[in-house]
Amino acid sequence: MLASSDDVRAIERLHVRAWPALETAVISGWLWRYSGGGSQRANSVSTVHFSGNDPAAALDEVEARYRARGVPIRIHTYDLTAPDGLTGLLQARRYGEGETTATMVKRVSAREIPTDVEIADAGDAAWRDIYLGAVTANRRATNAKILDAVPQPCAWFSCGRNGQTIATGLCVADGDLAVVECMATHPDARRQGGARAVLAAIEAWAARRGVRALALQAVAGNLPAIALYRGFGFAPVATNRFWVKN
């Protein structure tokens, strides 16, 4: 098996940690997240763990917190969401199904770092220009703040061609697991292998840290990205969904 249930939970926790919301609260084990802007993960409830006895009451508190902010209520579920039956509760409360993403994993193998990829401890202006230029306008200011809070150990990857940065990536490690974030390519440089070179450098960096499994999350409808990741050896292990109620 590529990833056990424990691995999938640990990967989901690491994805939550790797993209830290600007404001959080623990509600019966769930993690309520608020950051403003358009980032869905940073403005939704992570449901990896539930320690309460009454999910309906916990959901009441979640809804009250988001309503106090004047923003839509978002719940982030995945295959191992806790507690069982939460999806049914959301449907009963007329939550709509939002964006779906796939968690994909590959076993890490040692490899050389491509000569056109630089690895740094932080993203420079060119890195940020590529990544922030690839996200929607309502996400840029918030995502820029989140980038400043990405936890260690992490590394930032830039693929350059002809003196220009054309593709980016970010990797956050935790023990023998690591997750990939912020994959982006300049529109004029697509289909030139920049993203694949970044992925190769990320795997090389992860292997040198003793990471055994590398994971990422991709929008299920982004077929070119899914094809790229499959071609690099990633395979889907879980489905994530955002449930939304205005």
Residue 243 lies in a domain: no
- 85 and 10 part of one domain: yes
- 93 and 151 part of one domain: no
Tell me the average pLDDT across 232-243: 97
Residue 234 lies in a domain: no
- Band (pLDDT 50/70/90 cuts) for residue 189 is confident
Residue 142 lies in a domain: yes
Tell me the average pLDDT across 214-243: 96
Whether the pLDDT of residue 1 is over 90: the answer is no
- 87 and 125 part of one domain: no
Integer CA distances (angstroms), 129 to 93, 164, 186, in order: 40, 11, 9
Tally of CA atoms within 13 A in the half-sphere of 177 that contains its CB = 21
Give 5-55 pLDDT, tens digit per residue.
999 999 999 999 999 999 999 999 999 999 999 999 999 999 999 999 999
Whether the pLDDT of residue 241 is over 70: the answer is yes
- 40 and 79 part of one domain: yes
Tally of CA atoms within 13 A in the half-sphere of 148 that contains its CB = 7
Q: What is the distance between the alpha carbons of residues 158 and 119, in angstroms, rounded to a whole number?
A: 7
Q: Are strands 177-185 and 154-161 parallel, antiparallel or unpaired?
A: unpaired
- 16 and 40 part of one domain: yes
- 118 and 48 part of one domain: no
Place of tokens 């982006």: 184
Count up the domains in the chain and report the number. 2
Give 130-157 pLDDT, tens digit per residue.
999 999 999 999 999 999 999 999 999 9
Residues in Cβ contact with 227 at an 8 Å cutoff, skipping those fewer than 6 apart: none
Give 42-97 pLDDT, tens digit per residue.
999 999 999 999 999 999 999 999 999 999 999 999 999 999 999 999 999 999 99
Residue type at 185 in one-letter notation: T
Q: Which of 64, 87, 102 is the last residue of a domain?
A: 102
Q: Is the pTM of this model over 0.75?
A: yes
Residue 116 lies in a domain: yes
Q: Residue 17 is part of which domain span?
A: 5-102
Q: Give the pLDDT score at 61.
A: 98
- How many C-beta atoms lie closer than 10 Å to residue 19's C-beta? 24
Q: What percentage of residues in the chain have a pLDDT greater than 90?
A: 96
Integer CA distances (angstroms), 163 to 111, 116, 198, in order: 24, 10, 16
Q: Give the pLDDT score at 237.
A: 96
Q: Which of 102, 130, 156 is the last residue of a domain?
A: 102
- Band (pLDDT 50/70/90 cuts) for residue 107 is very high
Q: Give the pLDDT score at 3.
A: 81
